[in-house]
Amino acid sequence: MTGGRRRILFGALGLAVVVVTFVVVLPKIANYGDVWGVVKTLDTAWLVVLLAAVVVNIVTFAPPWMIALPGLRVRQALPFTQASTAFTYIAPGGGIVGMAGSYGLLRTWGFGSSEVARAVTLTGVWNQLANLLLPVVAVLLLSIEHQSDAFLSTVAVVGAVVFSVAVCLLALVLWSDGLARGVGEAVESAANRLRHVVRKRPVAGWPERLVAFRRSTVDLIRRRWAWLTLAALLGNITVFVVLLVCARAVGIGASEVTWVEAFAGWSLARALQLIPLTPGGVGPVELGMTGILVGFGGANVEVVAAVLLYRACTILPTLLLGLATIAAWRWLGPGRTREGVDVPAGNPPGG
């Protein structure tokens, strides 16, 4: 199967999942008319609290990038993170597209290729590790409350195993110059074989570049790993706060679904975003979160209302702000060297 046909098939599968979710499954769980009836009667005070939670969540997008990429300032990081995240919502492949978009946007601001690659790698790795670790934390919290769920426990075990393997692989890659050089040689050799097939000149220097990348990455992690971890966790937790506010706003009290149960449902749904079936996990996330919260005791209509409101509050603001930023990028660009990093005289941006 050719790459074009594969992409078409993958896109059709993702579209089918979205249609089945919102046209077939969710309407069977709760009538959309009843759901809208709950949403349109939200109390003004809850709307204010929800707006505050959304704003705080958007602001927390910036710190991980500012930590991973020294020289990136707040006034740049805020619009940049909205733009790069918007890429994950508008194209299949989600995270991969977002990482590529992040790299391209930051390069236009004069940051060097190795610095940008390091920042993209670290923020991506830390965020995915958080997504794997949070279901484990959720199951531990449930056990403290003397609750257990076989499915969630299984997911937590799988998450813990993948988390451990990922940490070990990261440690191995960063362990020594020799190992990094060996990986670079293997990748360069494979790339050159492929380039020979398509009749392109061979590439060279990858082993030493990977060694240099490894040294700068280790140095940054050694100095900033605690802040990077805190920023990644804070960013994820503020997303959960948006869900919790949505649940309480539509009338799901603590007697129906506790905050720990809501956290468990949310953390599992976040893990589903690791499967790049649809942009932003649209479809699987809503189904997973709805099923778990209803299973914990939430009323069908209120749960669907909370989940859809939560998804709207976490996707639409970033999507709109990100698209506006992308559209205005050509006007943001002229001052990029001055506003980005301080580039010494005689060194072009990215050199």
State pLDDT tens for residues 190-246.
Answer: 777 877 777 777 777 767 777 777 777 777 888 888 898 899 889 999 999 999 999
Q: Quick check: is 167 in a domain?
A: no
Q: Quick check: is 216 in a domain?
A: no
Phi-psi region of 274 (alpha: psi -120 to 50; beta: other; left: phi over 0): alpha
Rg of the chain, C-alpha, whole Å = 22
- Three-class SS of residue 321? helix
Residue 348 confidence (pLDDT): 35
pLDDT reading at 300 higher than 80: yes
Q: Which residues of 303-323 are buried (b: 16+ CB within 10 A; e: fewer)?
A: bbbbbbbbbebbbebbbebbb
Q: Quick check: is 253 in a domain?
A: yes
122 or 144: whose pLDDT is higher?
122
Q: Where does the chain show beta strands of DSSP type E?
A: none
Q: Quick check: is 55 in a domain?
A: yes
Helix residue ranges, H only, 91-205? 95-108, 113-144, 150-173, 177-197
Tokens of 282: 């649209």
220 or 248: whose pLDDT is higher?
248
- Residue-number span of the structural domain to which 91 is assigned: 15-157+224-334
Give the least confident one: 181-185, 234-238, 255-259, 267-271: 181-185
Per the CB < 8 A criterion, the answer to whether 336 and 109 are in contact is yes
Q: Quick check: is 163 in a domain?
A: no
Alpha-carbon gap, residue 10 to 6, rounded angstroms: 6
Q: Quick check: is 190 in a domain?
A: no
Angle at 179 between CA 178 and CA 184, to 5 degrees: 95
Q: Quick check: is 176 in a domain?
A: no
Per the CB < 8 A criterion, the answer to whether 57 and 111 are in contact is no
pLDDT tens digit string along 139-189?
A: 788 777 666 556 566 655 665 566 566 566 666 666 667 766 776 777 777
pLDDT tens digit string along 62-120?
A: 999 999 998 888 888 888 889 888 888 876 655 666 777 788 888 877 788 888 888 88
Q: Quick check: is 215 in a domain?
A: no
Q: Domain tally for the chain?
A: 1
